[in-house]
Structure 1
């Protein structure tokens, strides 16, 4: 092999090696991409806030109507309205759980400063967001696509983290204990907020009023 051939061969090998390294290089700085993910989550939080406010207003209006119906001794109307109010509160609880879970994910992502942090935070975060999809799509048109976009963004960051560390970890999965902890915290806070904010539905009073009305 001539000297020219050897040099050409070495350059080709170097080029192939460089291309491989380039393909494995993280796509862009980590911090701006994390900030983009946090901003997208913040957008969903704002939308949830709007929906929760509407549910709260609906809750208050229905509760007033239940009280009015009871004052008129209209047990049938009070019962129907109480059932509707119970459904509204179920929706409010679902939305509240989703909001708090997203806020927990935001907090985790805000602590990410390097690839090691990303690997610890992103697994549970992605699993939490995936778990929100089925609940939110019932109440938020377009939530499925938006959550999908967030998952893709986080998946890209996670892939960069895995490539940077040389570890092979299945995407969209996190520590079961971490995920459970996020959801337990969200559920507990949401439950307390609902208890503090909303008066209880006077179902027992409706029954008593109905019995009293029948005796008259």
Structure 2
């Protein structure tokens, strides 16, 4: 056997069969790399495209989190809808849900005050209490929070529990009981208030708003100003 001959035959066969494929793959990768660079978020081209999309949608995409796709859909039908019905009452009802997470930071004390306001709305009394339990877990690096519209509620019966990362200062776990373990003692009004406050806290979670744990002990009393 002539070794040189065999090497030449094998080389010719490889060049004929494999070289075009290899060249195509390399060129394809090179083009993909170029496109990746062009469309990277910090490139001028990507920014220009994003700006054009925002201009057509008449909306700043940065203001939307993972549950705001409904708002994008609503904007698409808004013009036709406005011609058919008066949507102002609907918009008023949804204002808290849509605009609530425009803020990028909130203090835990502000969330506690939201619960007090919700409890006050549910009650005709001049004053009352909610349940606020805050525990710092230094071992795991997080802060656990339990909140309920009623006073002296056990942790496992609280309407809402969420966990804030000490390093990221954002909610990474959210649980809501909706009083299911004690449904017989819940009025429709209380369920409505709880549902509203649950949605607000969930929005803080879904939008990854920074939550500052400004205190560990909170005053759980609420009072009506008019009394």
Regarding TM over 0.5, the answer is: no
Structure with more helix by fraction: 1
Structure with more strand by fraction: 2
The structure with the largest alpha-carbon Rg is: 2
TM-score, normalised by the number of residues in structure 2: 0.31
TM-score, normalised by the number of residues in structure 1: 0.32
